[in-house]
Amino acid sequence: MTAYTARALTPTVLEELRTRDDAGRATSAFTDREGGAPLRCCLRRSAPGERLALVSYAPLRRWAAETGTDPGAYDEQGPVFIHAGECPGPAATGALPFSNAHRTVRRYSADGRILGGRLVEDGSGFEPAFAEAFADPAVALVHVRAVEYGCFLYEVRRPR
């Protein structure tokens, strides 16, 4: 069985987003009073009292810039929660985060085009969905997204 890894936002991206988000807005921090926000920097839920920021993030645009691709019309941006300050990054548990609800696994080609997707109804469905996606040689990466809001949760790239 192939191990698929959820990719958190990198420290460099976080540093940029803590100043200005991908929509060009200045970032403002707040104290999370309730907890439970899905953090894209460490791939866990926030705890009450943590300092967070809700920023606009363009995942495909960032990937396209890294790979020299033009995302075209698929260059979308949406809200993500991050720590407002330093973050230790994800814990090395090997478990896929945010897998306790319906999720969409959206496939993208090397030229940044959507190649389809699959609904995953529980945590056990991710491995088959990733295996199916990466069985297609045209698939370069997948985004895992929340069904209820469509928000980007994390990226998984083709295993090496």
According to the model, what pLDDT value does residue 2 have? Answer: 63
Confidence at residue 104, expressed as pLDDT on a 0 to 100 scale = 94
CB 120 within 8 A of CB 114: no
Among residues 120, 137, 138, which one has the least CA distance to residue 129? 120
- Dump pLDDT digits (tens) for 101-159: 899 999 999 999 999 999 999 878 899 999 999 999 999 999 999 998 888 999 999 88
**pLDDT tens-digit profile of 17-48?**
999 999 999 999 999 999 999 999 999 999 99
In a domain, 29, yes or no: yes
Q: Are residues 74 and 108 in the same domain?
A: no
Claim to verify: residue 110 and residue 68 sit in the same structural domain = no
Instruction: Tell me, yes or no, whether 46 and 17 share the same domain.
Output: yes
Q: Single out the residue in 83, 116, 140 at which a domain terminates.
A: 83
Domain count, the chain: 2
The pTM score is 0.92
pLDDT score at 112: 92
Supply the range of the domain harboring residue 133. 103-157
pLDDT at 100: 84
- The C-alpha atoms of residue 108 and residue 82 are separated, in whole angstroms, by 24
Q: Please report whether residue 4 resides in a domain.
A: no
- The DSSP bridge partners found for residue 20 are 26
